[in-house]
Every structure is written in C-alpha cells, then in structure tokens.
Chains A and B, each alone.
Chain A
Amino acid sequence: MPEFRIPLGDVTNDIFDQLITVIAPVTNGISSSLETFLKWNEAFLLMWPPLLIVAVLGLLVWFFVDKKLSLFIVFSLIFMLGLNLWDQTMSTVGLVIAGTLLSLLFGIPLGILASQNDTTEKIISPILDLMQTMPSFVYLIPAVIFFGLGKVAALAAILIFALPPAIRLTNLGIRQVPAEMVEAASAFGSTRLQILKEVQLPLAMPTIMTGVNQCIMMSLSMSVIAAMIGAGGLGREVLTAMQTVDIGLGMEGGLGIVVVAIIMDRVSQKLARRSQKGEEIAGSGAGSK
C-alpha cells in the first residue's frame, strides 16, 4: 500500500527555489546594504576604548536621566568587561540599535498611515497578528533562505518581531486622541497634515514612546534567539553553552543579556516618562509664577 502524504514540504521547497532565483538580485542588494550598515554600526561601537564608553554613558545617564541608574550601568558594564564579554555585548547592542532604528523607521510611518484610514488599518492589522502569533522559529528559516546565515538574516527576523508594536502603538496612540480635539483643530481650518502634526502626534507621544520601548525589548529578545542563525553577540555565548553543556558560560552570557535588557529598558522608559514630565514641569513652573 503506497504511503499517502500531502507533499506540502516539497511544494514549499519548489516555490521557494523559484522565488529565490527571481528575487535574489533584490535580496542580495538589500542584504549587502544592510550588512554595510550593521558593520559600520558595530565598528563604531568597538572603535572606542570600552572604559570611555562606560564613562560617557554613565555621565550622560547621571546628568540627563537618573543617578541610581547611572551607577548601575557603570558597575554592570565594568563587570561585563571583567567577564571578557565586551565585544559580544557591543555586538548585541549594535544589532539591537540597528533593529530598533529600522523598526521605527518603518513602524511609525505605517502606524500613522493605519491611524488615518480604517481600510489601511483593516489591511495591516491581520498581517501584524500573523507576525506576532507566528512562533519565531518559523520565520528564522525563510530569513536564512533569503539573506543567508548571519547578521542580516537576524536583522530581518528582528524586524518581523519588533515592527508590530511600533505600528500598533503609534496607531493606537493617534486613535486615542479625543475626537473633540481633532474636531476643534478641524473647526479652525487645519488640513489633515496639520491636525496630525499639531494635535494628534503630540498627544499620542506617550503611547508612541511606549511603542519605542517595546520595540527595543523585542529587538533584544529576538537578537538572542537569532544567535541560531548567526547573529553572534551574547546570544551565541548562551547557544554555545547550551551545545556544550557549559553551565558557567551560560551563566555569564545570560547575565550579560539581563544586564543589557535592564539598561535598555530603564533608560528608554525614563526618557519616555521624562518627555511627558517635561511638559508638566513647564506647566507647573508657569503656575508658580
């Protein structure tokens, strides 16, 4: 009796083979420019003496963000340096920065687009649902097929993962602006663009900043998973540790990831909150006059 099997895997392979030959020039182009971008990014971070980066970051955070956080950053980064994990840390940070920037670059405009038009929202929304419900392992494979093993594929995976919150929260923030504000702006003769720029975006800013924060955290978590397709950085330490059952190495890499996560989360959250508070302070300053 012949074994019956739906040949979905084979068909998929065929389709992808065809697809790749067709779009190879495109993906190659994208791939090489992204690679340049990533290399430049990482090289920039590794260009400076580690202690200089620690000092500058510490001072910036001390004066502009939060003193306690600054101390935490300085100590934990020196600790990473002591673990000999500096290069890996910078590699992860570079990838996260690149992933976040790209996600915001596409996500915020797409979010704005979705907020202006119900049809656009209806089209984008299920795609985002798909991107968010799909297990990340599933799209690591096509990422590799299109971009090969390495950081570019990792970046593509990050983009799929970190784009949805940027789009969603931008859209949400703008749609949450009270209708009466939009109506008032219209009543005074604002164009659509003026309403967006003068009223909707400023009032949506807190929500958009939450989106930025989420985008950063998503990028970080995917950059770790993407070690499996050659993302390098701290994720690779953990991966190697898993493959060789080296608990010590796993501990070090894991700790490094946690440190980076805490720093990025806290800094972006504090900055987001400050951008709101700045207004409040301006307001109450006038009030006490």
Chain B
Amino acid sequence: MLKIESKEIKNKIEIKNLYKIFGVYPERAVKLLQDNKNKDEILSGTKNVVGLNDVSLSIRSGETFVVMGLSGSGKSTLARCINRLIEPTSGEIYIDGENITAMSYKELLQVRRNKIGMVFQSFALFPHLNLLDNVAYGLKVQGVPVAKRHERAFHSLQGVGLSGWEKYYPEQLSGGMRQRVGLARALANDPGILLMDEAFSALDPLIRQDMQDELMNLQDKMNKTIVFITHDLNEALKLGDRIALMKDGEINQVGTPEEILVSPATEYVARFVEGVDKTKVFTAAHVMKRPQPLVYAKDGPRVALHKMKKAGISSIFVVGRGKKVQGLLYADQAAAALREGQDTVIPYLDIGYPKVAPETCISDMFDMMASANGPVAVTSPEDELLGIIVRGAIFAGLSGGESPYAGI
C-alpha cells in the first residue's frame, strides 16, 4: 500500500492505454488498432480518425515533460485528454492517483479548477475583460470573492512582469505580453499541473526565447508539473526534462533530450533529430540578443558615450528611423567626436560592420565572428536591426546549461 502511494506521489500524471478515436464507431476502430491496423488503414476502412493510439506515460511531479511530433500526430489531443476537454475513447488517466476518466462532471470541474492550468497557442484571452479580470477568471468561476481574486490575480500578473497593466485590455498588448497574461491566468489558482499547447509557437523568435527563459525561471521557483507541447526540436531540447516523440497518435520514444539524440528508438525519431549539429540547427535568430542599448541617429557623442559606459560596452550600433542600421560606433571614435566638438556621431561610424540574416546557421558565422571586433548585427532584408550577436553568446548558446549534448 505504502509502496503504491509513494509511486503515485512521484508520478503526477499517469496515463494508461489511452485511445482517442474521432468518428462514429470508435470502439470498432480501437479493436482494429489492437489488431495492428494502422491509422491510414482505419481512416480509409472506417472513416474514423485515430487521435491517440495506446498511449501510456508517467509524468513525474515537478518535471517539464515535452510532447513533440509533427502536425497531426495527436499532441493537442493528448494534452486535452488530460483535462478531458476531449473525452478519451478508452484508457485511464490518473492525476495525483485519482482516475479522472472515471470522474463525474462535478468532480472533473473541481480538478480543472484546482489542479490544472492551461495555456493556449492562440492565447485565448477574453477580449471583453481587462487583464486583471482575465487572470482572475479561473478564481471567479470557483466563487472566490472579488477582492480576494483580484489580489491573487494582481500577484500572478506581477509574477510574469506585468505590474501596472491590470486595467489594460488584451487587444492593447503585444503577442509576448498576451502570452504572459495567458501564463498568469493559468497560474493564478496555483495548480499543480500546467498544460501548455504550443504556447510559444505564435511568438516572434526573440520573444519566444524570452518566454522560454522566463518559463524556466518561473519553473525553478514554482516546481510545477509542466506538459509542454511543441513541434520545435530546439524548444523541446531547451525546456524538456524528458521528451516524448509522437507519430500517428502513438508514442515513439520517451527519454531525456540526451537519450533522444544519442539513441533514437525509431526511424521517425532519428529523422526528427537527424544530424542535429547544433551549429546547423541553431541559427542567428536563436543566439541573438536584444539590441540594447542603442544609439539613435539624432544622439550626439555625449549620449553615445554615456550609453556605452552605462552598459559597459566599447561599441554600439547607431540606428535611424525604423531601426535601420546606420553603422557601428566605437568608443574611441565617439570620444574623438566629442573632442572635435561635433554634435553628431554619423561621420564617425564604421559602416563596414558585420551583419547576417536571422536564418543564417551558426556554422556559417564562425569566420565572421572570429574576425569581428565588436558585435555582429542581425538584420532584416530592409536593414532593420533585429538583434545583435556578441562573440561569447554563440559559445554560451552552444554549450550552455541547456545543451543536451555538450559531451557529444
């Protein structure tokens, strides 16, 4: 008895032989699956769509469990079965040892209210509610009094760095901020489990990285059990304690990022991680930093020097309208401009600064990085400054803590 309990505490979510068939005769399709028919045969034979095919998983308390797979492989279906937004055809799901597939609707509501928070790819914020009420929504439906739920929503917003935005409406925010609200809403009632279905897939690369970092920071403090859905290998490698790879509704392999990379269990997994050489997988967009601070074309040498000094850097990009790069300014040049009594730094710029497109592979940047004196600019075709890469960042990016194969 004791043994079972300790095991259940360790496994926050336990999924046993889960099937989901979309269609009219789901039981018949399950039989066919058990007779080793595949997804396509069942679709053409019975018009039923296989969503999940005999999925069994144990997700440990406090781990970030990433589910990865191509489009249509059943990732969303799996996530939605966990809170029964999608009703499984057969199989069992245990949360904290309780079989939620056998629960009544009332009990299920309690599980959704207290144990599971969900973050959506499309954010799914309520446009008619301000941020505070959006975040407080889950508490409201539980009947928490208004003062108390606003207080908790306030703290939750604070936790994702959105203090002072309580009275704004979702449409007034950028995508990244909206998803912070989505996260705050999911965390407001302090659930043990966080379901994140492609939560960052709709965000720009830089914002996406920020959000991944932020989630990892939050997770260090919160220690939630996170089920994170993605089809992005890099995201999976970065966030996942363990990764499950799905294909056609089946789990192909579950393992740590390292296991997945080193010993792929099936050809599908192998293809997924094929030739993962980080320098080829990672692009400039992955390792670039936010270009801050920046000097604007109107700024004089004094401002430029002040900004460099404050940031502790010896060169800085100067941008004009629409963040269009004008050139790179070195500290000694700025000092020269000051000495010569100029009120602009434009003539002192290095216009031969190194630049790359965001999709450039890191492996193609090594030579450039080696010869660059300062940062490399990551620019759009219109010369808009998207980010900068400093030399250290590449190596940090390649060998940083999240690297699953520092030793390979």
Flag if B85 contacts A186 (CB, 8 Å).
Answer: yes
Q: Does A82 sit within 8 A of B, measured CB to CB?
A: no
Flag if B112 contacts A188 (CB, 8 Å).
Answer: yes
Q: Does B44 sit within 8 A of A, measured CB to CB?
A: no
- Residues on A with beta carbons closer than 8 Å to the beta carbon of B83: 187
Knowing A198-B141, A286-B130, the reply to whether A189 touches B110 (Cβ < 8 A) is: yes
Knowing A184-B118, A286-B168, the reply to whether A189 touches B112 (Cβ < 8 A) is: yes
List which B160-194 residues lie within 8 A (CB) of chain A: 167-169, 171-172, 185
Flag if B113 contacts A189 (CB, 8 Å).
Answer: yes
Flag if B112 contacts A186 (CB, 8 Å).
Answer: yes
Among A186, A189, A190, which residue has the most Cβ atoms of chain B within 10 A? A189
Chain B at the A interface: mostly helix, strand, loop or mixed?
mixed
Q: Tell me how many residues of A have a C-beta within 8 Å of chain B.
A: 24
A203 CB to nearest B CB, Å = 6
- Residues on A with beta carbons closer than 8 Å to the beta carbon of B114: 189
- Contact among A180, A191, A198, A282 for B122, CB-based, below 8 A: A180
What does the 1/0 interface line of B100-124 toward A look like (CB < 8 Å)?
Answer: 0000000001111110111010101
B90 CB to nearest A CB, Å = 22
B121 CB to nearest A CB, Å = 9
Q: Does B142 sit within 8 A of A, measured CB to CB?
A: yes
Flag if B141 contacts A188 (CB, 8 Å).
Answer: yes
Q: How many Å lie between the Cα of A184 and that of B172 in the bound state? A: 20
- Residues on B with beta carbons closer than 8 Å to the beta carbon of A286: 130, 167-169, 172
Flag if B169 contacts A187 (CB, 8 Å).
Answer: no
List which A180-206 residues lie within 8 A (CB) of chain B: 180-181, 183-191, 194, 198-199, 202-203
- Contact among A189, A203, A284 for B142, CB-based, below 8 A: A189
Q: Does B10 sit within 8 A of A, measured CB to CB?
A: no
- Residues on B with beta carbons closer than 8 Å to the beta carbon of A188: 112-113, 117-118, 137-138, 141, 185
Q: Does A289 sit within 8 A of B, measured CB to CB?
A: yes
- Residues on A with beta carbons closer than 8 Å to the beta carbon of B22: none
Smallest Cβ-Cβ distance to A205: which chain B residue: B128
Flag if A198 contacts B140 (CB, 8 Å).
Answer: yes
Q: Does B127 sit within 8 A of A, measured CB to CB?
A: yes
- Contact among A183, A186, A203 for B128, CB-based, below 8 A: A203
Q: How many Å lie between the Cα of A198 and that of B136 in the bound state? A: 12
Flag if A181 contacts B138 (CB, 8 Å).
Answer: no
Q: Does A135 sit within 8 A of B, measured CB to CB?
A: no
A263 CB to nearest B CB, Å = 30
Q: How many Å lie between the Cα of A67 and that of B167 in the bound state? A: 31
Q: How many Å lie between the Cα of A284 and that of B172 in the bound state? A: 8
A246 CB to nearest B CB, Å = 53
Smallest Cβ-Cβ distance to B116: which chain A residue: A187
Knowing A191-B109, A279-B128, A286-B130, the reply to whether A185 touches B171 (Cβ < 8 A) is: no
Q: How many Å lie between the Cα of A191 and that of B109 in the bound state? A: 8
A267 CB to nearest B CB, Å = 24
Flag if A180 contacts B124 (CB, 8 Å).
Answer: yes
A119 CB to nearest B CB, Å = 17
Flag if A184 contacts B128 (CB, 8 Å).
Answer: no
Q: Does A248 sit within 8 A of B, measured CB to CB?
A: no
Q: Does B126 sit within 8 A of A, measured CB to CB?
A: yes
Smallest Cβ-Cβ distance to A183: which chain B residue: B85
- Residues on B with beta carbons closer than 8 Å to the beta carbon of A190: 141
Residues of B within 8 A of A (CB): 83, 85, 109-114, 116-118, 120, 122, 124-128, 130, 137-138, 140-142, 167-169, 171-172, 185, 195
- For the complex of A and B, the 7 pairs showing the least CB-CB separation, nearest first, are A189-B113, A189-B112, A188-B138, A286-B167, A283-B169, A184-B124, A187-B118
Q: List 15 A-B contacts (CB under 8 A).
A: A178-B124, A180-B120, A183-B85, A183-B120, A184-B118, A184-B120, A184-B124, A188-B138, A189-B109, A189-B110, A189-B141, A189-B142, A203-B127, A203-B128, A283-B169
